[in-house]
């Protein structure tokens, strides 16, 4: 996997805390939060949601709610009292959400999106559900790629790192020499993905957030979160919101 050949590079940032070490001009950033924010965002656009405004604070969620916007949000997995629903991807599949804008507030994912957007780079959302679509969108940018894992409260997360590995491997393979990596975290996440890819659902039994979701009775989404390429949407950040790249 280590290679210095190839015009463009891939880096993987395992935690928002390390972001200042990775941010770089003229790059494209793929933000991922597999359990569950980035998977939920892709599900929303697949369902025809118009836009998602990622928000960080409870005050911001209240503000949008008072303005009459649909509000989604959780802290530590629990739905916010000012939200219409939490962060399960299944919540975002409701037919009534078609054409709507949703203000979304999650423990780690929406913060990571806003952090990446501050860099002025193009920011896109990646999940296993849109793996092929987001990787080819990023590679077509002909820019260096940084994969930012939302993690859990600034710590390493197994499921986000598995996605980073799957995406790194795919982009390098599919770009036929255009992309390379010399980044240890990209190489380590690829090795982790190779270990897990035979049966990701079995492997993910080791992950802390998998058990957190189980304790909360919110782990019905696991299989869906690993349904590779079940959608071709690519959510992109424009202004203060996420839109489908096709819109
Ligand atoms: C997050 O943003 O931390 C996650 O998506 C939390 C979750 O929905 O379980």
The response to whether residue 108 sits with its C-beta less than 6 Å from ligand 1 reads: yes
The yes-or-no verdict on residue 30 having pLDDT over 80 is yes
77 Cα: distance to centroid of ligand 1 (angstroms): 6
What CATH code is carried by the domain that includes residue 210?
A: 3.90.1560.10
Q: Is 129's C-beta closer than 6 angstroms to any atom of ligand 1?
A: no
In a domain, 1, yes or no: no
CB atoms under 10 Å from CB of 150, counted, come to: 28
Residue at 234 is within a domain:
yes
Decide if 88 is inside a domain: yes
Give the span between the Cα atoms of 234 and 237, in whole angstroms.
Answer: 10
Is 39 touching ligand 1 by the criterion CB < 6 Å? Answer: no
What are the beta bridge partners of residue 237? 242
pLDDT of residue 5: 81
Any domain includes 3: no
CB distance 36 to ligand 1 below 6 Å: yes
In a domain, residue 116? The reply is yes
For 226-237, the three-class secondary structure string (H helix, E strand, C coil) is CCCCCCCCCEEE
Ligand 1 pocket check for 9: Cβ under 6 Å: no
Mind listing the pLDDT tens digit for each residue in 211-230?
999 999 999 999 999 999 99
Is this prediction's pTM over 0.95? Answer: yes
* Residue 246 in this model has a pLDDT that exceeds 90: no
Residue 201, domain extent: 8-244
The encoded tokens of residue 149 equal 């894992």
Question: Is residue 137 included in any domain, yes or no?
Answer: yes
In a domain, 54, yes or no: yes
Count of domains observed in the chain = 1
């Amino acid at each position: 996997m280590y290679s210095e050949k190839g015009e463009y590079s891939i880096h993987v940032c395992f935690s928002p805390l390390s972001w200042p070490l990775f941010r770089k001009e003229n790059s494209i950033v793929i933000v991922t939060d597999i359990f569950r924010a980035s998977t939920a965002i892709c599900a929303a656009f697949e369902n025809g949601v118009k836009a998602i405004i990622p928000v960080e604070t409870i005050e911001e969620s209240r503000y949008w709610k008072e303005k009459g916007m649909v509000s989604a949000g959780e802290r530590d997995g629990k739905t916010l009292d000012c939200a219409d629903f939490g962060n399960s991807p299944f919540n975002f599949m409701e037919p009534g959400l078609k054409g709507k804008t949703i203000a979304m507030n999650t423990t780690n994912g929406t913060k990571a999106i806003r952090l990446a957007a501050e860099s002025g780079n193009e920011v896109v959302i990646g999940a296993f559900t849109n793996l092929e679509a987001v990787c080819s969108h990023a590679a077509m940018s002909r820019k260096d790629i940084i994969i930012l894992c939302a993690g859990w409260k600034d710590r390493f997360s197994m499921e986000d790192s598995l996605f980073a590995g799957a995406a790194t491997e795919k982009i390098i393979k599919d770009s036929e020499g255009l992309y390379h990596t010399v980044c240890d975290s990209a190489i380590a996440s690829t090795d982790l993905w190779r270990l897990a890819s035979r049966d990701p659902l079995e492997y993910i039994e080791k992950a802390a957030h998998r058990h957190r979701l189980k304790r909360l009775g919110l782990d019905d989404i696991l299989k869906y979160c690993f349904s590779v390429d079940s959608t071709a949407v690519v959510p992109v950040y424009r202004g203060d919101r996420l839109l489908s790249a096709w819109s």
